[in-house]
Amino acid sequence: MTSSIESNSFSTLSSAVGSVASEITVLVVFLITWTVINTFLRKNQPTPAEKGGEARITFSKSSKSPQEMVKMMQSMCAENFTQGLRLYRQLLKTNQDKFIVDEAFYTALVEAAIRVRKPDIAEQVIHRMKENHMIPSVTFVQSLLKLFAAHKCYKECIEAGKLFDIPEDQVIYSCMSVAASELGDTILAKEVLERSAKRFTISSRDYVPLVRAHVRVSDCDSAVKEIRSLMAHGFEIDSILLNTALACWSTTQDPKLMPTLLADVREYEKKFETKCVDRVSFNTVMKSLARQRDVTGCFELLGEMCNSGVQPDDISFSTLLDVCIDTNEPDSASRALDQMSASGVKMNCVLLTTMMKGFIRVKQLDKAMNLFDSMRGENSQAKPDMITYSMLIKAHCDAGDMAAALTLLEDMFQNSCDVDDVVFTHLIEGCCHISNAALAEKLFSDMCAAKIKPSIFTFAAMVKVYGKCQQSEKAWLLVSSMETEYGLKPTVVIVTCLISGLVRQKKIKEAYEYFVWMKTVGIYPDVQCAQTMNTGLVDAGMYKELYDVVSQESLNLTPAHFNTLLSKIKDSTAARAFRSLLQQHNVPISASNQARVA
């Protein structure tokens, strides 16, 4: 029995050992197979650079040489600037960039930095070149400055030119003068241009950026001096240069400066085959004369224009017509029209609209509408635009003819003409003239439905309508909802309209409440607002509130206004207190008020 048990135990143990040995064999085979496969996969695995990932480079004895890295970084800059920049900075850490003398590499790095809008990195690169005592070629500096100037990196362009001591090259001088002019450094720009003129052949067009720099700061005298200096040195004046200087005239105090310059240039240009005074030159000066309301000067200039062989255009005559109408000289306007007809200039929308403006100015709206009807004809080549419609709508609204104004609005929609907030504002102001709040509300609703954003002037017109129609509650609801619903903060003009409407309705307490409210929301009364409030308070006998308003807000008003207020105060005690307040602030009291209050 015992031997049988031992035999069974031995058999079980042998079986277990055999099973374990089998499993170990399988495990060993698996490990060997895994090792072989893993080794094979590693040999065929792509490098980080091939996968597009970041390559970690260390410059050990077995690493690539800096020259090989340069080629790698150049290719990276075109596709992955960040990766190329990291490699370059690794070179900097070990000072191995000193071995880089290939300008193509620096060009690629700078171009990539500017392309990704990192001009500061480009500047660091060229400074490193300087530190490494690398002397760039003129071609490299040319490309560098042109690159900076083309991407409007004017500050970097100037610093790069100075860094390399501004090599004597016409392209480099040109880039430097443009950059200096754009930065407003006219002294440097002039210095660079003078150096360029001594060594190379340049033209007056090279001075255009410098003259523009003078014009931007309204330095008209300096712009003219530059042109006269060029004339003194025998340069042929370029049309763009001349017209740039002429455009500055509106800011000058000398009314003869530009006409004199134009006359001198016209005489000077006789030395050359190409004429620089063109139609733009004459029109620019004529617009400046028109702004000065010099009708005679405009006609004289038109005559000079024709005598010089320059044909006037629609802009010339529209400017002339406009100044004649603005100065209320209908005879001069007729003379301008005759000259325009004789010159063969075709009538266009601008000219016809200007003529309508003249008819409206002299209260001949029927003639303006006849002209408008001719523009709408099938054979007319000059169709009315938004300005034409807007002007006629305002004219009809001012005349109280809202039916005609609304017909014009409907015509605008039917003809697919753009409609803006100005047109609707004119119509709402017309509703104020006829005291029709319902129509104003309908127009305002239509305006919003058409996704035309109301302006401050639109809200002012609506408040005026509500004030005239004695609907102050609606006016206040509109004003209080402006900022939340329309994104516009009420202005002092709008609150003044609200207060004025309440004063007209004898609701002085409400008006005073809104006057106090406006200051709590950061709106401070102006002269008109204070005068309106003061008048309402004194008429209502609210002398305490009047005293507070005058002492806090209104002491910059005229003595006449204060004396009018004092004359209306019926309570003797309040009158004496108000007189004392005025005397404390050195406001002169009229003799009649002195006698009455005494």
For 410-478, give the DSSP string: HHHHHTT----HHHHHHHHHHHHHHT-HHHHHHHHHHHHHTT----HHHHHHHHHHHHHTT-HHHHHHH
> For 423-469, how does the pLDDT look when each residue is reduced to its tens digit (9 = 90+)?
999 999 999 999 999 999 999 999 999 999 999 999 999 999 999 99
Q: What are phi and psi of 516, to 5 degrees?
A: -70, -40
d(CA 41, CA 414): 75
Q: Determine the 3-state secondary structure of 397 from DSSP.
A: helix
User: 75 lies in a domain?
Assistant: yes
- Mean model confidence pLDDT for the chain: 84
> For 289-308, how does the pLDDT look when each residue is reduced to its tens digit (9 = 90+)?
888 889 999 999 999 998 88
Rg (CA), the chain: 41
> For 171-218, how does the pLDDT look when each residue is reduced to its tens digit (9 = 90+)?
999 999 999 999 999 999 999 999 999 999 999 999 999 999 999 998
d(CA 445, CA 425): 12
Using 50, 70 and 90 to split pLDDT, how confident is the model at 557? confident
Label residues 391-420 b or e (16+ Cβ within 10 Å = b): bbbbbbbeeebbebbbebbeebeeeebebe
Q: Which residues, 6 or more positions from 136, have their beta carbon under 8 angstroms from its beta carbon?
A: 103, 106, 129, 144, 164
Residue 503 has pLDDT above 80, yes or no: yes
Residue 56 has pLDDT above 50, yes or no: no
Q: Which residues, 6 or more positions from 245, have their beta carbon under 8 angstroms from its beta carbon?
A: 211, 214, 215, 220, 223, 224, 226, 227, 258, 261
Residue 420 has pLDDT above 90, yes or no: yes
Residue 41 has pLDDT above 60, yes or no: no
Query: Which residue, among 453, 513, 503, 452, has the nearest Cα to 480 in the 3D structure?
Result: 513
User: 260 lies in a domain?
Assistant: no
Q: What are phi and psi of 452, to 5 degrees?
A: -100, 115
d(CA 21, CA 24): 5
Residue 79 has pLDDT above 60, yes or no: yes
User: 79 lies in a domain?
Assistant: yes
Helix, strand, coil percentages in the chain from 3-state DSSP, rounded to 5: 75, 0, 25
Angle at which helix 508-520 crosses helix 527-539, to 10 degrees, equals 150
> For 238-275, how does the pLDDT look when each residue is reduced to its tens digit (9 = 90+)?
999 999 999 887 655 677 888 889 999 999 998 888 88
In the numeric block, the tokens 């171009």 are attached to: 111
Four-residue CA torsion sign, 575, 580, 583, 587 = negative
Residue 95 has pLDDT above 90, yes or no: no
Query: Which residue, among 472, 412, 391, 403, has the nearest Cα to 431 in the 3D structure?
Result: 403
Query: Which residue, among 357, 326, 327, 324, has the nearest Cα to 338 in the 3D structure?
Result: 324
Enclosing domain of residue 128: 68-134
Using 50, 70 and 90 to split pLDDT, how confident is the model at 36? low
Residue 577 CB-density burial (10 A; 0-12 exposed, 13-18 middle, 19+ buried): middle
d(CA 388, CA 395): 11
Using 50, 70 and 90 to split pLDDT, how confident is the model at 354? confident
Q: Determine the 3-state secondary structure of 525 from DSSP.
A: coil
pLDDT at 275: 87
d(CA 331, CA 157): 57
Is-above-0.75 flag for pTM? no
Higher pLDDT, 7 or 348: 348
d(CA 591, CA 596): 9
- Range 516-522 contact pairs with CB under 8 angstroms and sequence separation of 24 or more: 518/490, 518/492, 521/490
> For 505-539, how does the pLDDT look when each residue is reduced to its tens digit (9 = 90+)?
999 999 999 999 998 999 989 889 999 999 999 99
In the numeric block, the tokens 């800059």 are attached to: 77
Q: What are phi and psi of 462, to 5 degrees?
A: -65, -40
User: 236 lies in a domain?
Assistant: no
CB of 72 within 8 A of CB of 85?
Answer: no
User: 398 lies in a domain?
Assistant: no
d(CA 532, CA 495): 11
Residue 540 has pLDDT above 60, yes or no: yes
In the numeric block, the tokens 């605008």 are attached to: 412
pLDDT at 54: 40
What single DSSP character describes residue 382? S
Total domains in the chain come to 1
Residue 191, token pair as written in the block:
């210095």
- Average pLDDT estimate for 223-248: 92
- Please count the other Cβ atoms lying within 10 Å of the Cβ belonging to residue 563: 20
Residue 223 has pLDDT above 60, yes or no: yes
d(CA 176, CA 163): 12
d(CA 505, CA 356): 39
Residue 587 has pLDDT above 60, yes or no: yes
pLDDT at 62: 38
User: 394 lies in a domain?
Assistant: no
- Average pLDDT estimate for 74-91: 73
- Please count the other Cβ atoms lying within 10 Å of the Cβ belonging to residue 282: 25
Written as one letter, the residue type at 299 is: F
pLDDT at 17: 56
- Average pLDDT estimate for 107-112: 81
In the numeric block, the tokens 């330095």 are attached to: 219
Residue 366 has pLDDT above 70, yes or no: yes
Query: Which residue, among 373, 305, 368, has the nearest Cα to 339 in the 3D structure?
Result: 305
DSSP 153-211: -HHHHHHHHHHTT--S-HHHHHHHHHHHHHTT-HHHHHHHHHHHHHHS---GGGGHHHH
What separation, in Å, do the N-terminal and C-terminal C-alpha atoms of the chain show? 150
pLDDT at 532: 93
User: 77 lies in a domain?
Assistant: yes
Q: Determine the 3-state secondary structure of 288 from DSSP.
A: helix
User: 475 lies in a domain?
Assistant: no
